[in-house]
Structure 1
């Protein structure tokens, strides 16, 4: 397995992985979780899938096993525009040092590799990649909207969400907004708990402004 970084301006190979990523998102968020998401055919895609988005994708022999979307909080994002009620009256994070993560998912039916704690290896690889990517860019935190199940997974992995507001029911999901701090301790814990021996992102992808 490996983690690759994709944008919507990618070459032909990247476009193929982007399509497979949108298929996985449809499979997870619509077919399995039955969330109210925008779908077209086999794909799940929304108005935040723009040129501003960066995607970290776990790939194994050409198959997409997991993904997460990263958006600048200075651009349109889900917490500020779709779920502001989760802020409990606080201002949405808006800073060059904060990005938003969304659409985090792992295809549990296609990846059997797990850690001693029972979480999928692909989950730890995505979390580590988020931290590596953010650290290389000097970011302070990642804003996110997640459900309580995923908050527990983050805690088990070693990355504690700092809640912005209390949980609220969004459709069929108990959702919460928070900030994930970009800290060496969190990355060390995720690598240790996930059995990762080192960085999961290739150096040229982890570094900012890489050629």
Structure 2
């Protein structure tokens, strides 16, 4: 199992991995979860997939097992910034409520958003924990390299059950919300303990 952090400046070094990550996102979010998201050429994407973001792929023998997108909270592209902030500002027009955070969404070069997190549904249950640990290791390592001291994420409300087991120190920064197919909550993940 390998982890690769992709950016627009290095994706040419990784063959089909970038496209395969977006194909795996389509399988996870559009096919499996039935979310209404943009797609083209068998790939899922949105307005936050810009050169400002980074994508972490956990892969094995060409198959994408899991993925994560990291976007700086200072990002700007037209009217968009990052998903959590744009939801709070009411410009997404979708199913994410504006009151998803207790306070204003951060705009800070040391805070990055973690989004489009998925694990392939083809992975057997006994292998999933290993994939989760690899995801956390890659996410925290990449975020630290990008200068992040904190990540924010809109994640499944079951996060308290597994974040600690994976070595993540996090706290809720918003209420539990029903969105599309489940309960979600915004969390802040502290990376300062991982800065060494």
Provide the TM-score with structure 1 as the length reference. Answer: 0.77
Look up the match of 1:174.
183
Count of residue pairs the alignment pairs up = 182
Look up the match of 2:82.
77
Q: How far did residue 183 of structure 1 move?
A: 3.7
- Structure 1 distance, partners of 2:110, 2:192, is 13
Structure 2 spans left out of the alignment, 5+ residues? 76-80, 88-95
SS, match of residue 99 in structure 2: helix
Cα deviations across residues 142-183 of structure 1 (Å, max 9, x unaligned)? 011112134533233232431111111122221111210004
1:37-76 equivalent positions in 2, closer than 5 A: 37-75=37-75, 76=81
- Structure 1 distance, partners of 2:13, 2:67, is 16
Q: How far did residue 31 of structure 1 move?
A: 1.5
Task: Name whichever of 136-145 and 61-70 sits farther off.
Answer: 136-145
Q: Answer 1 or 2: which has greater helix percent.
A: 1
1:44-193 equivalent positions in 2, closer than 5 A: 44-75=44-75, 76-82=81-87, 83=96, 84-88=98-102, 90-110=103-123, 114=127, 119-184=128-193
Provide the TM-score with structure 2 as the length reference. Answer: 0.82
Contact preservation (8 Å) 2:11, 2:18: no
- Structure 1 distance, partners of 2:69, 2:160, is 17
- 1:72–1:15 CA distance, 2 compared to 1 (3 A): farther
Contact preservation (8 Å) 2:65, 2:131: yes
Structure 1 spans left out of the alignment, 5+ residues? 188-211
CA RMSD of aligned residues (A): 2.3
- 1:139–1:10 CA distance, 2 compared to 1 (3 A): closer
SS, match of residue 166 in structure 1: coil
Contact preservation (8 Å) 2:52, 2:71: yes
